[in-house]
Amino acid sequence: MLQISYFALLALILAMIFVGTSLTLKRMNTPPQKRKSILLKVTFGLIAWFAYVFTLSSTGFIESRDLPPRMPLLGILPTFLFTAFFLTTRRFDNFIKAIPASWLIYYQSFRIIVELIIWSTFLEGIIPKNTTFEGTNLDVMAGLTAPVVAYLVYNKRALPENFALAWNFASIAILAVTVFTFISTTFFPSIWANQYHIDIKAFASFPYVFIPTFFMPSAFFVHFVYVSKYFRKNSTKAKTALHAQS
């Protein structure tokens, strides 16, 4: 049942990604044929990533606790490199500008389910309590507040947009603490006085490996896209105002 929950959440996240991408392309007035082509590229990209993760997992290569840590370097770092590429490549500028800002926040509500799955994974004995919401993992707060913030800022217009920016930074910080807890518990247990233990063999296998290689990186990715979009928008406003004055 727990493993089915992982795949069900994966399906939900993928559905949100495709709906968000399709909605954004429509807002850009992208021709239907080109829209299909882009969605196909996204599909192939995701398939390639999951094939790569499956290979790492099935070979047992990322099960090692030796340094340098293989899972963070091979399973997590590439996702951040892709994020940097996406945010700094000009051809994605119009796409980032067109993404509905509210969607970028509503998306983060998937973290409620992630935390419930993490708790269930702890009950299975795969990960320790300190990685759950009973430990230092407060990520469920980001998931619970995401729809509230999105609604009040973008639907109700009851709060300024910079409140959403502050929420994104706070949520990034919460997620960073959670990542630190997982990595330190796995590779540097002495930080926790060797009280906690992660079953690295199980955690590095399908579908548990989705947590570090997809669920967590996707949350960071969407946060960074929101922050980039916010500052691009305000930079454009500033340039327009300056141009008007001159």
Q: Is the pLDDT of residue 180 over 90?
A: yes
pLDDT of residue 124: 94
Task: Name the DSSP class of 173.
Answer: H
- C-beta of residue 185 within 8 angstroms of C-beta of residue 198: yes
Q: Round to whole Å and give the CA distance between 68 and 237.
A: 45
CA–CA separation, 129 and 28 (whole Å): 45
Q: Is the pLDDT of residue 37 over 60?
A: yes
From the list 70, 177, 67, the residue with the least C-alpha distance to 130 is 177
pLDDT tens string 229-243: 999 987 666 555 555
* Residue among 102, 97, 94 nearest 34 (CA): 94
- Predicted pLDDT at 233: 87
| Residues 6+ away with beta carbon under 8 Å from 118 | 127, 131, 132, 133, 137, 211
pLDDT given at position 236: 62
CA distance 201 to 72: 15
pLDDT value of position 194: 83
And the tokens for 102?
A: 């509210």
Per-residue pLDDT at 239: 56
Lowest mean per-residue pLDDT among 28-42, 115-129, 226-240: 226-240
d(CA 227, CA 233): 10
Mean pLDDT in residue range 123-148: 96
Question: Please, where are the H alpha helices in 188-215?
Answer: 200-203, 210
Mean pLDDT for 69-98 is 96
Q: Is 29 helix (H, G, I), strand (E, B) or coil?
A: coil
Place of tokens 């079953």: 199
Distances from the Cα of 173 to the Cαs of 98, 161, 166, in angstroms?
26, 19, 11
- pLDDT over 90 at 105, yes or no: yes
User: Per residue in 155-171, pLDDT tens?
Assistant: 999 999 999 999 999 99
For the whole model, what pTM was predicted? Answer: 0.93
Segments making up each domain of the chain, as ranges: 2-245
Give the Cα separation of 64 and 58 in Å (integer): 13
Contact 10, 210 (CB under 8 A): yes
Please tell me the distance from the alpha carbon of residue 210 to that of residue 53, in angstroms, as a whole number: 9
* 244 band by pLDDT with thresholds 50, 70 and 90: low
Q: How far is residue 159's CA from residue 150's CA, in Å, rounded to a whole number?
A: 10
Contact 131, 178 (CB under 8 A): yes
